[in-house]
Amino acid sequence: MADLRPPRLDAAAAEVARVAAAAPDWDALAAVARPCVACPELAATRQHVVIGDVPLSGRPRFVLVGEAPGATEDETGRPFVGRSGALLDLLLAEAGLSRAEAAVLNIVKCRPPANRTPKAPEVARCSGWLRRQLELLDPPVIVALGLSAAKWFLGPRTVLAEVRGRPHPWGGRAVWATYHPSAAIRFGPNGAPRASLRADLTAVAGTLS
């Protein structure tokens, strides 16, 4: 995995942070994020900036945050709609949760070429969008799916096996870090990542009123 320690903000990251902070609502934020070219390599190869999904009812009960869009997400412009998304929906249902009540986001909004791990400057430049999304959505609980997302919230030295299974305070909210559905797919239906992801989602469900 790449080192995701946020570097000092370059001009592109600072501009994203400025533009994002000025967006008064979700629709305005989406409108200014869609033409983003802060990361030239990603902008040159993407089909869509994948803003994220939000519930029709308004404030989500919880937020799911992954790493970056994959091929299907890049094609459709929506997060977690490929194989990983199908498994995530299944495990949410098994935990007694509904995706319709959640917001679904990624730390990086454009697909990295060949689904590589986002580079640290790309994470830094996209962070302004995610921070403003979380401010606008104001979720009580955030589920970080996978190591890249866990590091964004909990720091670059995060070890997923050590931090999962319990909430961590972050900005007045509870962050749960767990495995990405893609890891559950790689290790199969009887693998530890799938069991851990299901257990963590069940624990999250138990904290939601």
Domain residue extents for the chain: 11-207
Q: Is 57 a residue whose pLDDT tops 90?
A: no
Cα distance between residue 73 and residue 88, in whole Å:
14
Return the ∠ at Cα 162 (arms to 156 and 163), rounded to 5°.
70
> Which of the four pLDDT bands, split at 50, 70 and 90, describes residue 58?
confident
> Which of the four pLDDT bands, split at 50, 70 and 90, describes residue 4?
very low
Predicted confidence at residue 130, as pLDDT, reads 98
Q: What is the pLDDT of residues 115-171, one digit of tens each?
A: 999 999 999 999 999 999 999 999 999 999 999 999 999 999 999 999 999 999 999
Using CA atoms, how far residue 188 sits from 4, 87, 135, 185, in Å, is 27, 11, 36, 5
Q: Is 5 a residue whose pLDDT tops 50?
A: no
Cα distance between residue 169 and residue 115, in whole Å:
30
Average pLDDT over the chain, rounded to an integer? 94
Q: What is the 3-state secondary structure (H, E, C) of 27-53?
A: HHHHHHHCCCCCCHHHHHHCCCCCCCE
CATH fold group of domain 11-207: Uracil-DNA Glycosylase, subunit E (3.40.470)
Cα distance between residue 31 and residue 75, in whole Å:
18
